[in-house]
Every structure is written in C-alpha cells, then in structure tokens.
Amino acid sequence: MDVLAIAGSARRNGNSEKLLDVFVDELTSNTSDWHVEKIVLIDGSKVLRKAEETGMLKGLDIHRYSNGESSVNEYVWNIRPCLGCDFCVSGKCVQKDSMWDIYEKLKVVDLLVLSTPVYFYGVPSHVKAIIDRCQLFYNKKYIRKEKWRDKPGTGVLLCCGATRGENLFTGISASARFWYDAIDFEYAGKVLVRGVDKPTAMDGRQEVVEETRALARNIIADRI
C-alpha cells in the first residue's frame, strides 16, 4: 500500500505533525509492505537564503517503510494558489510548479492522510493552495467525465486546534470531505483535537494517541 501523508503545519514537530507521526507509526508497525511518503510542506524553522528572496520555504520529503528503513530529502516546494482561470476545464493546469508532483502522487496512492492545524477556523494557506489546485481533478471527474484513478483511494483527516469552540472544525471538516470527493478518495475517518496551543500540549494526551492509533488500525483492517 502506498500512503501520502501531508504535514500541513509550518511548525516542525508541532501538535498536528505529532498526531500524523502517531498514525504513521501505527500503520508501519502493524502491517507489511506499506510505503509512507510524508511531505512537510513548509519547515518554518529553516528558511533557505533563496527562499528569503522568493518567498518559498524549505520542505521535507520523508519516506518510511514497514521494514524500518527511511530516507529524508530537503527541497523547496513551490505551490502557487489557484488562479481561477478555468484552464483546468481543458484537463490540464496552466501553472508549472511543484503541484504537478502532488498531482502525480494523488493518482497512485492508496491512502491520503492530511494533518493540519487550525488557522482562523480554516487550514493554513499552503494547505488551502493544494486543495484549491485540485479543481483540476474536480473538472476531470464532474465536467469532463474522465476516470483518472483505477479505483477510489481512502482519505483521513487529522486536525488540532488551540481553542475549544463548538464550530472549531466545521469548516475544515467540510473542506476535507468535499476535497476527498473531488479527488476520488473515500473520506474514511478523522481525529479532531481541541485545546492544543503550545507545542507541548499533546504531551500526556494518551486518549488522543489511542484514538489516532485506533483509526489507523481501522484503515488497515479495511484495506487488507
């Protein structure tokens, strides 16, 4: 099974990324032949000199296998926001940037895991750019009536927010659900955690760890 795990926080080893690591650990510890590619879109703690000039930040591409092997590559992600130009109605995106790497991954992975913090009751801008740029696949599916995956994938949402508001996750949950539908992934579950602001806020939250591991085990059971 191929897994794409997207870490949406610009804060390395923040709460949402910790949640993602728990999920990935459960996947790779309890199954064989699973390949997890974890993408850290932005590492806000390390800005490349070039990034200071272009506005792009260093990201990470981390591969982890069920046999315990792993590799880490550092590079600059350059994913521009959607232009709303409707060129994707033609079946292609007019922009030539790192989003094309994401497009290729979304075509083949079996499981897509998005982990993200809450920014003003929504996802961070770099995560929203990926979601919006998937209008390409929406048009392929609903306008052009094209089949671009052999079979539907499985989608999971992991999300952490600082406050405890009743509607804290309403917008993000809806965005994730409709995004997964547009890119032909079945929305299979979520873990939503309130009241985690400081970097150490997840420490001692064993009930959250168990919920996350349980979701991973459910995904394993459904996919095997």
> Could you tell me the CA-to-CA distances from 76 to 42, 48, 49, 159, 173 in Å, in that order?
8, 8, 11, 24, 28
Euclidean distance between the first and final Cα of the chain, in Å?
9
Domain of 208, CATH number, reads 3.40.50.360
Task: Give the pLDDT score at 3.
Answer: 92
Average pLDDT by consecutive 10-residue portion of the chain (224 residues)?
A: 90 89 89 81 61 52 62 72 94 92 93 96 94 96 91 96 93 96 96 90 90 94 74
In whole angstroms, give the CA distance from residue 164 to residue 43. Answer: 26
Q: Are strands 35-40 and 153-160 parallel, antiparallel or unpaired?
A: unpaired
Contacts of 2 (CB under 8 A, 6+ apart): 35, 37, 108, 109, 110, 111
What is the model's pLDDT at position 47? Answer: 53
Give the number of residues written for the chain: 224
Q: For the sheet with 58-65, list strands across it.
A: 70-76, 58-65, 35-40, 2-7, 111-117, 153-160, 185-193
pLDDT at 55: 47
Nearest to 82 by CA among 125, 46, 49: 125
pLDDT at 92: 92
Number of domains in the chain: 1
Residue 30 has what pLDDT? Answer: 72
Determine the residue type at 25.
D
Would you state the pLDDT for residue 49?
A: 47
Q: Domain residues for 209? A: 2-223
pLDDT at 178: 96
